[in-house]
Amino acid sequence: MPQSVDKKTMARLSPFSERNNFRLISVLVFVAALFIAACSTTDTLHPSKTGSVTDAPRYVFYFIGDGMGLAQVELADAVLEDDSALEMTTFPVAGVAATHAENRYITGSAAAGTALSTGYKTTIGTIAKNGDRSADLKTMAEMARDKGMRVGIVSNVSIDHATPACFYAHADSRRMYPEIAVQMASSGFDYFGGGYALGDLENGKPLGALVETMKDSGYTVIQGWEALGKAVPGRKYWAYGSYESSGALKYAIDRAPDNLTLADFTRHGIRLLENDRGFFLMVEGGKIDWASHANDAATVAHEVVDFDLAIAEALEFYRSHPDETLIVVTADHECGGLGLGYADKAYESDIGILRHQKLSAQAFAEKVSRWAESKRVSFSMALDSAKVYFGLGDAILDSALVLTSEEKAALKKAYTASMSGDNGGQAYGKGDPLTVSLTELLNHKAGIGWTTGSHTAVPVPVFAIGKGAHEFCGVYDNTDIAKRIIKVADLSR
Ligand SMILES: [Zn+2]
């Protein structure tokens, strides 16, 4: 099973062609056309005009790409082979949502997650509580539970991270990981899937107390393929995969073929949650944000594709229940100020060269750290690695990858800083100097720029399909996404 998913991913990321420039423009025109078409044909999308309770979709999917601005979506689409498109961009309805927090123009995952889960603005860092943290805000997942629907929460970062937390927990700060994680046990939700809980980790090792609390509350706690495959509907589960010290699953670009993926946790979630009273399933692609914070464009593209594979699982379910299913895909905010154009290249783009990056900046930095310890890797060996893992310097792969003497000199400077254990100061931000230099160089050669290592205030895309999808057409606030889901799915009773 993991092999098949992996093959699918590989097939979709097959070599890039010269039609890329045309493709960039055509996809944008296509998205704009979709938007206009969807907004002008809402009547044909109305499943019914009676407005009765029976109109509510029985199955509700809510996909949140953390840090996934329209540029991140377009980047992944541009890296895909020409004859394929991201599933989310094929949805018949598109919208645009503003993201600001109650007390800051540029939002964070907690405030944005609260807006997306409750329909109310809150302050930075707050999890499903009002701005002054004096009262809890009921989340749509809790409403779905109270309506008798089954509820699932899936994320490929730790399950107590801000976005998933905003659906089952209430906390003054997103950093209160143990206090957040324990609220999984009292939530009464049916399925938690993906990463481990940061609140039960110490130096990357599990403490185990949370597992006991979950078991005491009636949950079966499972890890890995076999156990997830044997899980049976009607029981409550916390299922997690192989995780890093942060509790998150590995980046898609780095993971082993037998690692459970976001799509796997989504597919099994659907299997476990399906029942006559319906379900609500939230799925977060959490590492689009992490890779964007690192300004690591190739890893971003892989994460968006990985997120889209999870969406494809919901879409498959939708095709067999088209009159009873609503799928909404959005983001909490953009991250990195990703620009699909770079000053030195003016109107030129070589986005396809990102396909030659073979691991995340994070994984490469871990290699460089080991080189610094061993002191056995020369600069020419480092350049060989740059060729293997980033394609940089490999003229046979693509002439855009050739390194100039100035670029080699800059890499030598960065290499020296990395080997001395020096962080290189301001020039390299917070990252490893050589890794930062290589990813930045590849991005610039591809025609990509970043404005920041933080979030931005640029509005985010909303894609919808299924029963009630027409409600998501237009330009609105992120709180409206939650309000509309709650209304369409009749959750607030
Ligand atoms: Zn976020």
Q: Report the distance separating Cα 343 and Cα 115, nearest Å.
A: 36
- How far is the centre of ligand 1, averaged over its atoms, from the C-alpha of 43 (Å)? 34
Average pLDDT for residues 51-80, to the nearest whole number? 89
Q: Does position 5 have pLDDT exceeding 90, yes or no?
A: no
Query: Is-contact 359 365, C-beta < 8 A?
Result: no
Q: Give residue 51's pLDDT band: very low, low, confident or very high (50, 70, 90).
A: very low
Q: Does position 173 have pLDDT exceeding 60, yes or no?
A: yes
- How far is the centre of ligand 1, averaged over its atoms, from the C-alpha of 163 (Å)? 7
Q: Does position 8 have pLDDT exceeding 80, yes or no?
A: no
What's residue 482's pLDDT?
A: 98
> If you write DSSP's letter for every residue of 425-467 in order, what string do you get?
GGGGTTS-HHHHHHHHHHHHHHT-B-S-SSEE---EEEEEEET
What's residue 430's pLDDT?
A: 74
What's residue 20's pLDDT?
A: 41
Average pLDDT for residues 297-318, to the nearest whole number? 98
Q: Report the distance separating Cα 450 and Cα 336, nearest Å.
A: 6
- How far is the centre of ligand 1, averaged over its atoms, from the C-alpha of 249 (Å)? 16
- How far is the centre of ligand 1, averaged over its atoms, from the C-alpha of 64 (Å)? 9
Using only the alpha carbons of the chain, give its radius of gyration: 22
- How far is the centre of ligand 1, averaged over its atoms, from the C-alpha of 41 (Å)? 32
Pairing label, strands 205-206, 325-331: unpaired
The residue assigned the tokens 């050589």 is 434
Q: Give residue 37's pLDDT band: very low, low, confident or very high (50, 70, 90).
A: very low
What's residue 424's pLDDT?
A: 66
What's residue 246's pLDDT?
A: 96
- How far is the centre of ligand 1, averaged over its atoms, from the C-alpha of 308 (Å)? 17
| Per-chain mean pLDDT for the chain | 90
Q: Give residue 182's pLDDT band: very low, low, confident or very high (50, 70, 90).
A: very high
Domain locations in the chain as residue ranges? 2-339+456-488, 357-446
- How far is the centre of ligand 1, averaged over its atoms, from the C-alpha of 65 (Å)? 8
Angle between helices 405-419 and 361-374 (to 10 degrees): 60
- How far is the centre of ligand 1, averaged over its atoms, from the C-alpha of 287 (Å)? 9
Residues sharing a CB contact under 8 Å with residue 226, sequence separation 6 or more, in sequence order: none
- How far is the centre of ligand 1, averaged over its atoms, from the C-alpha of 187 (Å)? 22
Amino acid (1-letter code) at residue 291: A
What's residue 127's pLDDT?
A: 98
Query: Is-contact 328 64, C-beta < 8 A?
Result: no
What's residue 278's pLDDT?
A: 98
Q: Does position 222 have pLDDT exceeding 60, yes or no?
A: yes
Q: Report the distance separating Cα 86 and Cα 65, nearest Å.
A: 13
- How far is the centre of ligand 1, averaged over its atoms, from the C-alpha of 285 (Å)? 10
Q: Does position 347 have pLDDT exceeding 90, yes or no?
A: yes
- How far is the centre of ligand 1, averaged over its atoms, from the C-alpha of 475 (Å)? 20
Residues sharing a CB contact under 8 Å with residue 27, sequence separation 6 or more, in sequence order: 74, 77, 78, 85, 89
pLDDT digits (tens, 9 = 90+) for 433-448: 999 999 999 999 999 9
Residues sharing a CB contact under 8 Å with residue 249, sequence separation 6 or more, in sequence order: 156, 157, 194, 195, 241, 242, 243, 255, 259, 260, 261, 262, 287
Q: Give residue 84's pLDDT band: very low, low, confident or very high (50, 70, 90).
A: confident
**Kind and range of the H or E run holding 164:** helix 162-168
3-state class (DSSP) for residue 136? strand
- How far is the centre of ligand 1, averaged over its atoms, from the C-alpha of 164 (Å)? 11
Average pLDDT for residues 65-72, to the nearest whole number? 98
- How far is the centre of ligand 1, averaged over its atoms, from the C-alpha of 461 (Å)? 14
Q: Which residue has the higher pLDDT, 129 or 9?
A: 129
pLDDT digits (tens, 9 = 90+) for 102-148: 999 999 999 999 999 999 999 999 999 999 999 999 999 999 999 99
Average pLDDT for residues 416-444, to the nearest whole number? 88
Q: Does position 17 have pLDDT exceeding 60, yes or no?
A: no
What's residue 70's pLDDT?
A: 98
Average pLDDT for residues 321-327, to the nearest whole number? 97
Q: Give residue 33's pLDDT band: very low, low, confident or very high (50, 70, 90).
A: very low
Average pLDDT for residues 188-207, to the nearest whole number? 97
- How far is the centre of ligand 1, averaged over its atoms, from the C-alpha of 331 (Å)? 8
DSSP 193: E
- How far is the centre of ligand 1, averaged over its atoms, from the C-alpha of 332 (Å)? 5
Q: Report the distance separating Cα 66 and Cα 113, nearest Å.
A: 9
- How far is the centre of ligand 1, averaged over its atoms, from the C-alpha of 289 (Å)? 6
Q: Give residue 39's pLDDT band: very low, low, confident or very high (50, 70, 90).
A: low
Q: Does position 44 have pLDDT exceeding 60, yes or no?
A: no
Q: Give residue 429's pLDDT band: very low, low, confident or very high (50, 70, 90).
A: confident
Query: Is-contact 155 62, C-beta < 8 A?
Result: no
What's residue 54's pLDDT?
A: 59
pLDDT digits (tens, 9 = 90+) for 223-255: 999 999 999 999 999 999 999 999 999 999 999
Work out the angle at residue 294's Cα, subtended by the Cα atoms of residues 171 and 243, and round it to the nearest 5 degrees.
60
Pull the structure tokens for residue 243. 């995780």
Q: Give residue 21's pLDDT band: very low, low, confident or very high (50, 70, 90).
A: very low
Q: Does position 27 have pLDDT exceeding 90, yes or no?
A: no
| pTM exceeds 0.75, yes or no | yes
pLDDT digits (tens, 9 = 90+) for 255-303: 999 999 999 999 999 999 999 999 999 999 999 999 999 999 999 999 9
Average pLDDT for residues 448-473, to the nearest whole number? 98
Average pLDDT for residues 466-489, to the nearest whole number? 98
Pull the structure tokens for residue 295. 């300004």
What's residue 428's pLDDT?
A: 76
3-state class (DSSP) for residue 405? helix
Q: Which superfamily, per CATH, for 2-339+456-488?
A: Alkaline Phosphatase, subunit A (3.40.720.10)
- How far is the centre of ligand 1, averaged over its atoms, from the C-alpha of 324 (Å)? 29
